[in-house]
Amino acid sequence: MESVKDRAAVIAKMIDHSLLHPALTDQELKAGCAEAVEYHVASACVKPCDVKQACRYLAGSDVVVCGVIGFPHGNSTIEIKALETEQILRDGAAEVDMVVNIGKVLSEDWDYISEEIRTIAEIVKQHGAILKVIFENDLLPDDRLKIRLCEICSECRVDFVKTSTGYNYVKGANNCYSYKGATEHDLTLMRRHSAPEVQIKAAGGVGNLDAILFVKELGVTRIGTKGTRLIVEEARRRFKNGSRAGG
């Protein structure tokens, strides 16, 4: 029978512990990596400049480093994204989260997007690493765009498709900014239109245990969050009282 510890560990290994805030200090990076190790998450997700340092902090643990490229706007050229990918992999990253060129998606320049994703996927595979492709769904108003991205990612055999960066907000008619992040609609759509072997990562608004259990039921296998400590501690308490990890 699965123990409380095992159930909580299942949740922990769904987490990419997010250390991506633009104002994150070296001290906060070190503390964040310590938290990732303490709770045995899947990865610590860090900025390119922090990959080497994070690898030192995580050495000897069961937590890998995930580096981001083209983050958060996706506007770098394919050549620069390729160089950035090579750099973070040489620095020790085992996983790569790449933001697609959002403007090219909105322009429906699918040849460009296919070349971009394929180029990065080939580099990542050569290094035996994992690639997650970020759509930034809040900026994509038409489901057709998300579906086509799922199809291209499946054709390029990426490992994950991902909803959001958590750092792009949409300006409304009232001049206020809003952000939805990982919605049930988008996660269901992405699961339906991605190849079975392509996994789904939810990011944005998945900051508590109930949210994780909900998206897990939708087929999500990885989530991005800063709330690791609260989530895993809640999982330990709840499962100790007899609740199941599945919801």
Here the CATH number for the domain that contains residue 102 is 3.20.20.70
* Residue 247 is assigned to a structural domain of this protein: no
Q: Does residue 139 belong to any structural domain of this protein? A: yes
Q: Sorting pLDDT into bands at 50, 70 and 90, what band is 29? A: very high
**Residue 33: domain span:** 4-240
Query: Does some domain include residue 245?
Result: no
pTM over 0.85: yes
Q: What is the pLDDT of residue 48?
A: 98
Among residues 62, 66, 77, 75, the alpha carbon closest in space to that of 19 is found at 66
User: Considering the domain boundaries, does residue 224 fall inside one?
Assistant: yes
For residues 195 and 159, give the distance between their C-alpha atoms in angstroms, rounded to a whole number.
10
Three-class secondary structure of residue 21 per DSSP: coil
Indicate which residue of 47, 104, 146, 162 is catalytic: 162
Position 16 pLDDT exceeds 80: yes
> For position 52, what pLDDT does the model report?
98
Counted domains in the chain: 1
Mean pLDDT rounded to a whole number for the chain: 94
Compute the distance between CA of residue 223 and CA of residue 17 in angstroms, rounded to an integer: 9
Tokens 């070296």 belong to which residue?
26
Q: Does the annotation mark 62 as catalytic?
A: no
Closest CA to 116 of 65, 70, 162, 49: 70
Give yes or no for a cis peptide into 72 (omega within 30° of 0): yes
H or E element: which one contains 86? helix 78-90
Q: Is residue 56 part of a domain?
A: yes
Q: Is residue 88 part of a domain?
A: yes
pLDDT at 175 over 80: no
pLDDT for 181: 85
Note the Cα 33 to chain centre separation in Å: 16
Q: Is residue 143 part of a domain?
A: yes
In the residue annotation, 111 being an active-site residue is answered as no
Residue 243: pLDDT band by 50, 70, 90 thresholds? low
Query: For residue 151, what are its two tokens?
Result: 């199809």
230, two tokens: 């609260």
Residue of 47, 132, 146, 201 marked active site: 201
Helices first, then strands: H and E counts in the chain:
10, 10
Find where tokens 């340092």 sit. 53
| Whether the predicted pLDDT of 1 surpasses 70 | no
16, 50, 97, 186: the catalytic one is 97
46 membership: H or E segment, kind and range: strand 43-46
Spatial contact of 89 and 127, defined as CB atoms under 8 Å apart = yes
How many CB atoms within 10 Å of residue 169?
A: 13
Over residues 48-75, the mean pLDDT reads 98
> Is 162 one of the annotated active-site residues of the chain?
yes
Mean pLDDT of 138-160: 97
Residue 128 lies in a domain: yes
Neighbours of 197 (CB within 10 A): 9
